[in-house]
Amino acid sequence: MYPAFVAVTPAPEGMDLLKFFLHSGPMAKIVLGLLTLMSLASWAIMLNKYLHFRKADAQSR
């Protein structure tokens, strides 16, 4: 598929993420929930590491 066609093609009316989620099956909801939780955990770890390294950098000066 050509990327230019994908970028220009509008989404059908009434298609949004919430509607997709509400009409998905239980297994898809479980997978999406796990992906969301793991993503949040990853961001928390990255923020923790950033703060830890910033504190270590300040202490080394």
pLDDT at 7 > cutoff 70: no
List of E strands, the chain = none
Return the SS3 of 25. coil
Query: How do the domains of the chain map onto residue ranges?
Result: 16-60
Whether the model clears a pTM of 0.75, i.e. scores above it, the answer is: no
Contact indicator for 1, 9 with CB cutoff of 8 Å: no
Tell me the per-residue pLDDT of 14-53, one tens digit each, with 9 for 90 and over: 778 889 889 999 999 999 999 999 999 999 999 999 999 9
Query: What is the b/e burial string over 38-56, where b = at least 16 CB atoms within 10 angstroms of the residue's CB?
Result: eeeeeeeeeeeeeeeeeee
What phi and psi, each to the nearest 5 degrees, are found at residue 13? -60, 135
